[in-house]
């Protein structure tokens, strides 16, 4: 009999945890069992303040009654319906509600289930669009160093995080990368968008000269890079990417899986930074994290180019069993209602300066080498401990969790992105806890 047949149900070995040091975790597990508003509860009954909105997704706070109710009601009415050749009304409603708050050039919405799927969908739409217009040689993608676009082969290939790539061979061919925009010498302790770095976008001209525009389908970037430690775009940088893409007929994809739904102090990063992409991916906050759902928004031009063939032929051979899942649609509608009713995107914008002041008050805490912020996001970068990158960040993560504060640790950067319902007193608590722990840590 295999070993697993003897395991009691509370054994930790069967579950292979994602993006986790399994061996380390299983020797000292941390368990969450319930959540409400700003707080989780652990299996030992301790309250933990959620400083990262679950994983950048629970923008309206946890277990909000209207969302829970909407999911419950939809589960009782229709659990599942295919989206292939048949529709259900909520899917159309979600698409319409999204186009109402998206930048006005984005007029159509394709549904998937995760950010990774949305990214791969956007890349495939870009390829299919160029091909439909007779420019089928445009097959290259340009991503960016330190970019994160999920874990599909497409997203891994255009992503720029070496640990996420090196185990998986060649991935998608024909991908190149822009330089990242992180620069401690020029930009440490910038507030909001750093002043230095717009020129880094000009590297796209170099890549166009190297590969020729006729081979490039799209550029994909996060307007603000989240996972890789909160890299806020330099003033003028995204504008310059837009100009260069336009000059060469290259599509610009914004991956707004993190920046969507209020995080930067506007509905989307595109609005916050006043740059319109041709395609936008979103996920996470779309359903307030309650049911997996993601989407890709496109311009009318892209959609119309694809709708040009015979009317009885499928235009895009792509989709998922769970595209526009009814429970996800119900959760999305309830989330969008809640965001609007409670004015949460405006609230993020109103709280942003208090947030900025508060997080920057940690400037003199031990080992802090940079603090970055925009909207209700912050990255606090710590000096790596000797030759042990990420260890100080991890120790800080564990100590703060024990003290009742959860954030996301990425290398030696602490990423904070609390639910947009956060109170000023809770911001103070986050900063006090972090300050105390940082000064205690080696």
Q: Output the smallest distance, CB 136 to ligand PXG, in A.
A: 27
Among 115, 143, 375, 411, indicate the residue that binds ligand PXG (CB under 6 A).
115
Instruction: Give the shortest CB-259-to-ligand PXG separation in angstroms.
Output: 8
* Token reading at 290: 């309650």
Q: Is 269 in the site for ligand PXG (CB under 6 A)?
A: no
Q: How far from 369 is each of 197, 278, 321, 365, 380, CA to CA, in Å?
A: 19, 36, 46, 9, 8
Q: Kindly state the smallest distance separating residue 292's Cβ from ligand PXG, in Å.
A: 7
Nearest approach, Cβ of 296 to ligand PXG (angstroms)?
12
Nearer to ligand PXG, 226 or 375 (CB): 226
What residue number has its CB nearest to ligand PXG?
115
User: Smallest gap, in angstroms, from Cβ of residue 260 to ligand PXG?
Assistant: 9
298 CB-near residues (< 8 Å, 6+ apart): 106, 107, 108, 109, 110, 125, 278, 279
Q: What's the alpha-carbon Rg for the chain, to the nearest Å?
A: 22
* Interaction between residue 140 and ligand PXG (CB under 6 A): no
Residue selected from 120, 255, 356, 412 as contacting ligand PXG according to rule CB under 6 A: 255
Q: What token pair was written down for 292?
A: 């997996």
161 binds ligand PXG (CB under 6 A): no
* 325 near ligand PXG (CB under 6 A): no
Taking the complex as a whole, how short is the minimal distance between the CB of residue 159 and ligand PXG, in angstroms?
8
Q: Which of 156, 410, 413, 433 binds ligand PXG (CB under 6 A)?
A: 410
Q: Is 418 in the site for ligand PXG (CB under 6 A)?
A: no
Q: Is 287 in the site for ligand PXG (CB under 6 A)?
A: no
398 contacts: CB under 8 Å, gap ≥ 6: none
Mask 347-386, x = binds ligand PXG (CB under 6 A)? ----------------------------------------
Judged by CB under 6 A, which of 90, 95, 119, 374 binds ligand PXG? 119
Q: Classify 346 as helix, strand or coil.
A: helix
Q: Distance between CA 319 and CA 327 in Å, rounded? A: 17
Determine, following the binding rule CB under 6 A, whether residue 181 of this chain makes contact with ligand PXG: no
Dump the DSSP string for 133-199: TT-TT--EEEEETT----SSHHHHHH---HHHHTTSTT-SSSEEEEPP---HHHHTT--SS-SS-GG
- C-beta of residue 392 within 8 angstroms of C-beta of residue 367: yes
Contact stretch for ligand PXG (CB under 6 A) within 23-31, 144-152, 184-192, 329-337: 144-152
> Which position among 49, 257, 371, 405 is part of the footprint of ligand PXG (CB under 6 A)?
257
* CA distance readout (Å), 440 to 106, 155, 283, 384, 433: 49, 39, 37, 16, 11
Closest CA to 30 of 392, 403, 325, 328: 403
- Nearer to ligand PXG among residue 144 and residue 149 (C-beta): 149
Q: Is the Cβ of residue 150 or residue 197 nearer to ligand PXG in the bound state?
A: 150
**Binding residue for ligand PXG, selected from 150, 160, 277, 326, defined by CB under 6 A:** 150
Return the range that interacts with ligand PXG (CB under 6 A); candidates 104-112, 236-244, 254-262, 365-373.
254-262
| 55 forms part of the interface with ligand PXG (CB under 6 A) | yes
Q: Which is nearer to ligand PXG, 230 or 338 (CB)?
A: 230
Q: Which residues of 407-417 are buried (b: 16+ CB within 10 A; e: fewer)?
A: bbbbbbbbbbb
Q: How far is the CB of 366 from ligand PXG (least distance, A)?
A: 24
DSSP state of 316: -
From 26-34, 79-87, 143-151, 388-396, span contacting ligand PXG (CB under 6 A):
143-151
Using the minimum distance from each CB to ligand PXG, give the nearer residue, 257 or 333.
257
* Residue 283 interacting with ligand PXG (CB under 6 A): yes
Closest by CA to 302, choosing from 125, 154, 165, is 125
CB 352 within 8 A of CB 376: yes
Q: What is the 8-class DSSP label of residue 208? A: H
Paired sense of beta strands 39-42 and 377-382, if any: unpaired
Longest Cα–Cα distance of the chain, Å, equals 68
Estimate to the nearest angstrom the gap between the alpha carbon of 257 and the chain centroid: 3
Give the 3-state secondary structure of residue 413: strand
The binding site for ligand PXG (CB under 6 A) comprises: 55-56, 114-116, 119, 148-150, 222, 226-227, 255, 257-258, 283, 408, 410, 415
């Amino acid at each position: 009999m295999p070993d697993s047949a003897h395991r009691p149900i509370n054994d930790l070995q069967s579950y292979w945890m994602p993006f986790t040091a399994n061996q380390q975790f299983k020797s000292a597990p941390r368990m969450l069992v319930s959540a409400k508003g700003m707080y989780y509860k652990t299996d030992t009954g301790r309250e933990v303040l959620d400083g990262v909105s679950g994983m950048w997704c629970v923008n309206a706070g946890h277990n909000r009654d209207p969302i829970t109710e909407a999911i419950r009601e939809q589960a009782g009415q229709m659990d599942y319906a295919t989206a292939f050749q048949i529709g259900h009304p909520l899917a159309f409603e979600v698409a319409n509600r999204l186009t109402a708050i998206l930048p006005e050039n984005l007029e159509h919405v394709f549904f998937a289930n995760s950010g990774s799927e949305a990214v791969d969908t956007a890349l495939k739409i870009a390829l299919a669009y160029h091909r439909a217009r007779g420019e089928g040689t445009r097959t290259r993608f340009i991503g960016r160093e330190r970019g994160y676009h999920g874990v599909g082969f497409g997203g891994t290939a255009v992503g720029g995080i070496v640990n996420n790539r090196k185990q998986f061979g060649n991935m998608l061919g024909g991908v190149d990368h822009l330089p990242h925009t992180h620069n401690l010498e020029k930009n440490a302790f910038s507030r909001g968008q750093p002043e230095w770095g717009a020129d880094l976008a000009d590297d796209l001209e170099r890549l166009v000269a190297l590969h020729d525009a006729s081979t490039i389908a799209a550029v994909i970037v996060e307007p603000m890079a989240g996972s890789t430690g909160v890299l806020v775009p330099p003033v003028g940088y995204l504008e310059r990417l837009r100009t260069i893409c336009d000059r060469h007929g290259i599509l610009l994809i914004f991956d707004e899986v993190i920046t969507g739904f209020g995080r930067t102090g506007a509905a989307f990063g595109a609005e916050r930074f006043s740059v319109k992409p041709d395609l936008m991916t979103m996920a996470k906050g779309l359903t307030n994290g309650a049911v997996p759902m993601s989407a890709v928004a496109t311009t009318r031009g892209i959609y119309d180019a694809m709708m040009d063939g015979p009317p009885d032929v499928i235009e895009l051979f792509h989709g998922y069993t769970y595209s526009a899942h009814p429970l996800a649609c119900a959760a999305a509608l309830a989330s969008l209602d809640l965001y609007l009713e409670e004015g949460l995107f405006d609230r993020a914008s109103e709280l942003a300066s208090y947030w900025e002041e508060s997080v920057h008050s940690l400037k003199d805490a031990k080992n802090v080498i940079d603090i970055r912020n925009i909207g209700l996001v912050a990255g606090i970068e710590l000096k790596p401990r000797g030759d042990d990158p990420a260890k100080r960040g991890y120790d800080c993560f564990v100590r703060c969790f024990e003290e009742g504060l959860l954030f996301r640790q990425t290398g030696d950067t602490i990423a904070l992105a609390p639910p947009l319902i956060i109170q000023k007193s809770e911001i103070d608590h986050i900063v006090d806890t972090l300050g105390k722990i940082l000064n205690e840590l080696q």
